[in-house]
Amino acid sequence: MKMENKEQEIKAPTIIAPPSGGRGVHVFAPATVANVVCGFDVLGFAVNEPGDEVIMRLTNKPGITISKITGDDGRLPLDPAKNTVSVSVQHYLQSVGRTDVGLDIELHKKMPIGSGLGSSSASTVAGLYAIKTLLGDDADPAKLLPFAMKGEEMACGHGHADNVAPALLGGFVLIRSYDPLDVIRLPHPAGLYCAIVFPDVDVPTREARQIIRQKINMKDAVTQWGNIAGLVSGLFMQDIDLIGRSMKDILVEPVRSMLIPDFYKMREIAMGMGAVSFGISGSGPSVFAFTKDEETAKLITQKLQQHLTSIKIGSNIYVSTINDAGPKVLG
């Protein structure tokens, strides 16, 4: 789909919900793996778990309140002017001319913050999908993308779309261009499993972006875009081995891997156990491996967790297929 990056083009929803009456909606939005190793800021995919949940209710008083946040250890602001969910929802309400609406938001974090699994994106997308549902806005969910990117900008200083786009659209997504925004949903082979390990160390995306080299040489660029093209070809051709040998990153990984405990040891373990590929999820510290079957994915996560325990680092592990559904209304 090709989209102009202009919020004002979004039309007011056709079905207007009553401003009160306690109507509410409960939405889940998935975690995402951004970059997919070689595609910094341009590739990402959604997984089935973890993810975040938002409960949103219409109230009588115009404006947004956040009454509850759980699962964040008190780290996220209840102030609606400072929370990525309410700020992106507010941008949406302004653009559709519905600042008369009153909303109360509960955010239930079901995934670690600062994990490299698109934690802020999952919350923001759940919030935007909730307001879209409450207002009966039947526009293409992709139209919510510019608002979700505002949330990312607030969370880490840069409005990248490689977490929010797959969280919102589901599946594997390419951001071909940011200006104008041009987002393409890619196919992927059935039976591709993702093994994710989140080592419990804090790597804020804002900081992980600041340490990246700002200039690259032509030789490295050639290697990198060859790999990105190879990965995208592999996805279209359903060629898992091509996907695997293309998932190499010589630009960002050498720097960011330093923030991740035993990154190269974990790669050696995962590849030795039959992973198709291994790399950093988003800005880290989570790492992920693609595998051809669920059993291998489970064994890899268990082995990596054991390894992290042996160096006294706690971890969370997840095994998932690629989530093609995106956000889901739970009730």
Considering beta carbons, is residue 103 or 173 the nearer one to ligand HSE?
A: 173
Does residue 47 touch ligand HSE according to CB under 6 A? no
Does residue 205 touch ligand HSE according to CB under 6 A? yes
Does residue 303 touch ligand HSE according to CB under 6 A? no
Does residue 209 touch ligand HSE according to CB under 6 A? yes
Q: How far is the CB of 32 from ligand HSE (least distance, A)?
A: 8
268 is an active site residue: no
Does residue 207 touch ligand HSE according to CB under 6 A? no
**How many chain residues are in contact with ligand HSE, going by CB under 6 A?**
14
In this chain, which of 35, 277, 286, 301 binds ligand HSE, going by CB under 6 A?
A: 35
Does residue 153 touch ligand HSE according to CB under 6 A? no
In this chain, which of 41, 72, 239, 324 binds ligand HSE, going by CB under 6 A?
A: 41
57 contacts 23 by C-beta, under 8 angstroms:
yes
Residue 175 CA to residue 162 CA, distance in Å, equals 7
205 is an active site residue: yes
Q: List the end-to-end C-alpha distance of the chain, in Å, as a whole number.
A: 29
* Catalytic residue (choose from 59, 133, 205, 301): 205
CA neighbor of 141 nearest in space, from 328, 330, 331? 328
Q: How far is the CB of 188 from ligand HSE (least distance, A)?
A: 19
192 Cβ contact partners less than 8 Å away, ≥ 6 residues apart? 240, 243, 276, 290, 291, 292, 321, 322
Considering beta carbons, is residue 34 or 96 the nearer one to ligand HSE?
A: 34
312 contacts 324 by C-beta, under 8 angstroms:
no
148 contacts 168 by C-beta, under 8 angstroms:
yes
The DSSP line for 125-150 is HHHHHHHHHHTT--S-GGGGHHHHHH
Does residue 116 touch ligand HSE according to CB under 6 A? yes
* Catalytic residue (choose from 32, 53, 133, 152): 152
Burial of 29 (0-12, 13-18, 19+ CB in 10 A): buried
Residues that bind ligand HSE (CB under 6 A): 34-35, 40-41, 116, 118, 160, 162-163, 205, 208-209, 282-283
Q: Return the active site residues.
A: 152, 205
